[in-house]
Amino acid sequence: MSKATDPRLLNGLALAYLGDAIYELRVREHLIAQGQTKPNVLHTKATTYVSAKAQAYLIQELMDADHLTEEEIDYFKRGRNAKSYTKAKNTDAQTYSYSTGFEAVMGYLHLTEQSDRLNELTDWCIQAIEER
């Protein structure tokens, strides 16, 4: 792992930037596997999983279920506490910061090549949204 991709050296927003793409890719793969093929339907369905509100809900559920390790919680806090200079769209600042923390965890797991753990959490999150 290079210094540029060492999660210990990256700020929370960089981790969240990557984590956002990783989580959305997993959701898109899930929707395609379900047989969804129409772009409008795919986009609408994906939004229920990847919106800031959904991600804030999911990180809170993961923490309430004690489903995160201490290290994952540390990366969540790093993302949550990062100072973003962009304004949240369609949500409040707290929801946006929790969503950023969620994405930071996904970025951390991807960069540390914890594929099994990343799959476990994304599967858990997808199921949680579908049961909601």
Residues 6+ apart with CB under 8 A from 10: 107, 111
Distance CA(16)–CA(53), nearest Å, equals 15
Q: Are the C-beta atoms of 23 and 50 separated by less than 8 Å?
A: yes
CA–chain centroid gap for 97, Å, is: 12
Specify whether 64 is catalytic: no
Select which of 6, 20, 64, 66 is catalytic. 20
Which residues are identified as catalytic? Answer: 20
